[in-house]
Structure 1
């Protein structure tokens, strides 16, 4: 375990993330530009794909981090049976949910019940499929729909804010089921689908297209929002949410509805709109 990962056990997570949020929203010209230039150089951000390619045009660091892409920079897989990759990034892990358990790394796993904070909601995904996608600071930070769905409920699960980098994933037990997260439950034509937005250290927030800012507000108890009567339907490939800093999105599918794309391996780079799985129903 690295020193940084070890320190995250004792660091004041929410304080540091709140501090990062203040920096991210600062309109100080020199500060926001220093942050933008530092991240662009450090992580090799490709602004040629951005709707606004001028790094000086963003009013805040957060505006830069949640930047839109040019039309056509990402396109959905042309096969109408393709369930889509929800974000740019790298596959952390993907595969079968075995007996309700989701693989994290060698020797590490957690249950769907722990992730969703609800045994009843987790039951349909037992023996289904999962895909965990890590978004690095260089990536496009908006998350899109893998498949058309009607929003049923969101569940804000409070927790820690560990780093979600490779070392932490390898060494922090049940990492994704311990970090603060927003669980989004959808009804689709093949059954339930869950998309989980997992927070991380220095993540300043999660926003959805239907409610705006969801995290923070940091909380100490699980908060549920029922959206069934609002008829919120999002099409395949439509934007659904965004991170205000890099983190992780996890997609859960029920059993016997799809097969994961065979080329997906741990640490393989992926792009929004590529094939995540092929529907079999």
Structure 2
């Protein structure tokens, strides 16, 4: 019963009025009492959390928690890309010549997703990976590689569910939801880090305004469950053959190899 309630409130709510009410509640001290049951429902490992439960004054503060130092290893060398988040590697594929990507059997226009045809064309024939974060996951976002920030922009006004049902039955959620996009230049080429909001407008917050990111650096966090999409230019990325799709994944785990650089 509790899990169904949490799933309704956090994963499926998208009406403006209900989102505003939920936001006020999870940021209030009243929500602190929900933290123990939230941890139990989503089987969150207390050994990974930076502080004791009593430290967090609200469910929001707990949801955006940091991890204890050392519980995630940033794997590989300078040519290996790592997962920027904890979550599920839900999809991996290739951007088609007509600027489309397929997720859960649905086609998405990356031109619409990115809001820029010129940038979208750079990634034709290149790889994409979709990483979904559930309410159980750690929600901080990290850099997948050592890189320089070339450009960042935001698109979209509303956010609808991006969980399994939202992706399957929603109307182009990945290309229409509020999203914050960062283009990065690494040693082997360019890539995109697309952060897709799930509920509230501006549910993506940055904690790193540096122009240069080191691999594994924290760059921001999601206020609620969401999705990260990575795009790589053609001929610059080789997917980690040891991974299957879909599969759970932890931040810092190798997702692929740089092909050049």
TM-score, shorter chain, exceeding 0.5: yes
- Counterparts of 1:15 and 1:127, CA distance in 2: 41
Superposition map of 1:121-132 within 5 A: 121-132=119-130
Partner of 1:23: 25
Task: Name the CA shift for 1:173/1:263 in 2 (closer, same or farther; >3 Å).
Answer: farther
**What SS is found at the alignment partner of 1:125?**
coil
Q: Give the drift of 1:116.
A: 0.8
Separation (CA, whole Å) in 1 of partners of 2:165 and 2:63: 23
Cα distance per residue 1:26-60 (max 9 Å; x no partner): 1x2xx2222312321211111211111x2121122
Give distance in 1, aligned partners of 2:113 and 2:211.
24
Name stretches of at least 5 consecutive residues in structure 1 with no aligned partner: 1-10, 212-230
For the pair 1:273 / 2:252, whether they are aligned, the reply is yes
Report Cα offsets for 1:186-229 as digits up to 9, x if no partner.
Answer: 22222221111101136872111236xxxxxxxxxxxxxxxxxx
Secondary structure at the residue paired with 1:83?
strand
Mapped partners of 1:137, 1:260: distance in 2: 26
Structure 2: give runs of 5+ residues left out of the alignment. 1-12
Name 2:157's counterpart in structure 1: 159
Instruction: Give runs of aligned pairs for residues 100-111 of structure 1, distance below 5 A.
Output: 100-106=99-105, 108-111=106-109
1: CA distance between counterparts of 2:256 and 2:15? Answer: 35
Contact persistence 2:161–2:198 (CA under 8 A)? yes
Match for residue 189 of structure 1? 187
Q: 2:236 aligns with which of 239, 257, 276?
A: 257
| Alignment pair present for 1:233 and 2:231 | no
CA shift at 1:12, angstroms? 5.7
User: Normalized against structure 2, the TM-score is what?
Assistant: 0.88
Cα distance in 2 for residues equivalent to 1:85 and 1:234: 15
SS of the residue corresponding to residue 95 of structure 1 reads: strand
Q: Is the 8 A contact 1:21 1:203 kept in 2?
A: no
CA drift of 1:132 comes to 0.6
Aligned to 1:119: 117
1:63-78 correspondence to structure 2 within 5 Å: 63-78=61-76
Q: Is 1:246–2:225 an aligned residue pair? A: yes
Query: The residue matched to 2:35 in structure 1 has which SS?
Result: helix
Give CA deviations for 1:71-93 in whole Å, capped at 9, x if unaligned: 11101113432111110000121
Structure-to-structure mapping, 1:74-113, within 5 angstroms? 74-99=72-97, 100-106=99-105, 108-113=106-111
CA contact (8 A) 2:208 2:218 kept: no
CA offsets 1:80-119 (integer angstroms, 9 cap, x no match): 321111100001211211222111112x011221111111
The superposition leaves residues 123-179 of structure 1 with CA deviations (integer Å, 9 ceiling, x where unpaired) of 211111111101111111001111112222221112332111112211224220011
User: How many aligned positions are there?
Assistant: 249
Q: TM-score, normalised by structure 1?
A: 0.82
Q: Residues 236 and 12 (structure 1 numbering): CA distance in 2 closer, same or farther, change over 3 Å?
A: closer
Alpha carbons 1:76, 1:274 under 8 Å: kept: yes
